[in-house]
Structure formats: structure tokens, C-alpha cells
Structure 1
Amino acid sequence: MKWFCLSMCTCVLLSFTTKSSISVSKIMRCLQDTSVVEHVDVYPQFKGGVKRWNEFLSRNLDIRKAIYAMDSTAYVDYGIKQTAILEFTVCENGEVCDVEIVNQHKISPEFAEEALRVMNKSPKWVPGLVEGKPVRARFRQSVTAILQEQ
């Protein structure tokens, strides 16, 4: 997707180089608007901070399917306590997109599916800032669960 966006803007840049009415700064803004910033002054955060994030998880994370899918082999392979490390983009408006699990091979497929479902359900976040302006930024957040019947 990133390559496609970069290619589109590059094509736009090449096709407009002969027209003086399109400024280079407008085209550069096109590139910046679709890019993801790696270094920010202020990191994105869940609205309400860690406390609200934990409340959101406790209300929305349903690990029953993952628990019932666990057999003795899965417990050996993945363990009872599993942590999904989610990496995602927080857009300028706080929307979450491009969610992926970094350590998918270390957690059960059912827990991975549930962690992705919950992250995609997440309300808007407070976006990252560069020089006081909101930017698209990549962020990592872990979700840990103990997959054991109580």
C-alpha cells in the first residue's frame, strides 16, 4: 500500500512537472499527507490514558473462544499467559488503521483473532504530534490475557 501511494504521488509529480500551475509544495504535501511519521514529539495515546485503555479491554476482549480452543498441545506451544503485540497507525484524526500483530507466531490463532477484532473496534485515539500538529504515526500496544477457565 505504501509503495502504491508513493508510486501514485511520483506519477503525479512527473505528470505535472511540465505544468507551471501546480506547485512543488502542493505535491510534497500530498506525499506528507499519506506518509507515516516514525519519530514524533508526543506519542499517540488512548483517550483517557492507560486506565481507560484497560477499561476498554475488560469490556470488549472476549477470550472465551480462545480458551475453549486451547488443548494440551496449544498450552505447550503458546502457554496460558499470552501477549499480543499490536502495531498500528493512528491517523491525524485519531482513527486506528493498518493493525497487525508483530508476534503472531507466539500466540494462539484464536487469541490473535480476538486481539485484532478488539483493536479494530477501538474508538479514536489522541494522535501523535510533531511541532504541535497531529500526524499519522505507528504505535505499538500490547494486549495480555490469561487463557484459563475460572
Structure 2
Amino acid sequence: MKKIKMSALSIWMMGALTSVVFMTSCKSKDYKDADATTDSLQAQMRADSITRQEAVKVDSLSNANTPVVSNLPGTAKPNPAKRRGKGSIIYQVDKDYETRYNRIPIQVNNEGIYSRAEVRPSFPGGEKALAKFIQDNIVYPENAIEEGVEGRVEVMFAVDENGRVYTPVVTGDRAGYGLDEEATRVVSKMPTWNPGQIKGRNVKSYYTLPITFQINP
């Protein structure tokens, strides 16, 4: 009788031990599966992050010479008195521009572009040639003419050491009605400029052009 009880107890203990081993094994497997899932998710997140970074780089490079496009509203307002009038483009730097330009502190950003140069960048042929290029190549947006919209757009861009014009952006308030996009489009297609200089050396530097859209009724 004692032998039978001992056998039963042994069987019960073996069964309990087997259950513990089985549960531990399952739990270990669950942890491994969970770790594997976590590792997989982390790997996917890292891959997605790299993909997004590369996409930004590619997009930045592909759009380096394209005009800024935005649907944000602007400050220009329709003028019923000038609706469907004759649009004209005016480029004229005021007499104080040179003074204001020279007051800009010379600083360089992390892309190696100077805020201004000692000798500022210039369009080949001078200001008159620049005004003619703008007038010959810009198109007054049709919807702006339809609504009698006028406005002034200031486009800032960089000129590199070789005179290449790039990264045109609108500074200050947007005019809206397509005026900003048209101004930056024309700047982005400009020919090679004379680069700015510091201590006699060609450098990358910023420059700003004011372009005025005007309608004659």
C-alpha cells in the first residue's frame, strides 16, 4: 500500500514537473516571439526612417531649380476697376538698395552661402539687361488679370561661385493669385550671373529681386 502511494506521488510529481517545464518552454517561446516581433518592428521603423530621409534628399535635389508653389492666400486684393486690364511687369531697384544691401552683416550658413558679398552678384549686362529679361520672360497670371490683382513680389535666391542661380524663394508677404509662383519661375530660369565676391574670391551668396505686377485699366 505504501509502495502504491509512493508511485502515485512520483507520477503526480513528474506530471507537475512536466507541466512546469512545458509552461516555461511556452513562456520562453512567447518571449522570443515577442522579442522577434519587436526587433522586426524596430527594423521596419529604421528602414522607413531611412526611406523617408532618402526621399527628402531626392525631392530636395530634384526641386532645387523649380519655383516655389503654394496654395496659401496672399495679401493682394482684387480691384474691379482694373479687371481685364493690360498687365505689365516692372523691375526697378530703388536708389537706397545698395545702401541697404551693404548694411547686411556678412554671415555664412551651414550650406556655405553668404548673407551678402563684398561685391554683390550681378546680371550679365547690368540692371537694364536684367529688367529686359524679366519683362520678356514673365507672364502675368491670367486669373490675376481677370480679377484686377496687382502686387509686388520679392524673390530671394542664391548665386553660386560659378554664377548659377538656384533656390528661389518668396520673402515677406505673399501676393497670391499666382504672382509669387510666376516671379520665382522666371528667376529659376535665369542665365548665369556674375558671382558675388569676398576678398577677390567668388563665393555663394544671396540676392533679392523686387518684381512688381501692375495693371493698366
Whether the TM-score (by the shorter chain) exceeds 0.5 is yes
Residue 57 (structure 1) aligns with: 134
Q: Give aligned-pair identity as a percent.
A: 25
1:97 partner amino acid:
Y
Aligned-partner residue type, residue 137 of structure 2: N
Does 2:172 match 1:103?
A: yes
What is the match of residue 45 of structure 1? Answer: 122
Structure with higher Rg: it is 2
Note the C-alpha offset of 1:40: 1.8
Contact 2:196–2:204, Cα closer than 8 Å, also in 1: yes
- Structure 2 residue identity aligned to 1:135: V
Give, in whole Å, the separation in 2 of the partners of 1:51 and 1:92.
23
CA-to-aligned-CA distance 1:59-80 (integer Å, 9 cap, x gap)? 1011042534536xxx4xxxx3
Query: Equivalents in 2 of 1:119, 1:91: separation in Å?
Result: 14
Counterpart Cα distance in 1 of 2:126 and 2:143? 27
Which residue is 2:205 aligned to? 137
Q: Cα–Cα, structure 1 residues 65 and 128, in superposed 2: closer, same or farther, change >3 Å?
A: same
Distance of aligned partners of 1:149 and 1:41 in 2 relative to their CA distance in 1, 3 Å threshold: closer
The residue number in structure 1 matching 2:196 is 128
Gaps of 5+ in 2: 1-108
Q: Under a length normalisation based on structure 2, what TM-score does the superposition of the two structures give?
A: 0.46
User: Map of 1:1-150 to 2, 5 A cutoff?
Assistant: 34-70=111-147, 75=149, 80=150, 82-105=151-174, 107-146=175-214, 148=215
**CA distance 1:42–1:126, change in 2 (3 Å):** same
Change (3 A) 1:40 1:60: same
| Residue pair 1:66, 1:111 contacting (<8 A) in 2 also | no
Task: Looking at secondary structure, tell me which structure has more strand per residue.
Answer: 1
SS in 2 for 1:45: coil
Could you tell me how far apart the structure 2 residues matched to 1:46 and 1:66 are?
Answer: 30
* Residue type at the aligned position of 2:196: G
Task: Give a deviation string over 1:63-119, Cα, whole Å, max 9, x none.
Answer: 042534536xxx4xxxx3x111111100001011111000343x1231111101101
Relative to structure 2, which stretch is displaced further, 32-41 or 95-104?
32-41
> Cα distance 1:37–1:61, how it changes in 2: closer, same or farther (>3 A)?
same
Deviation per residue, 1:101-145 (Å, 9 max, x gap)? 00343x123111110110111111110001111100011111112
Q: Which runs of 4+ in 1 moved over 6 A?
A: none
Are residues 33 and 101 of structure 1, via their aligned partners in 2, closer, same or farther at CA, if it must alter by over 3 Å?
closer
- How far the C-alpha of 1:149 sits from its partner, in A, is 5.8
How many residues are matched?
Answer: 110
Could you tell me which runs of 5 or more consecutive residues in structure 1 were left unpaired when the two chains were aligned: 1-31
One-letter amino acid matched to 1:124: T
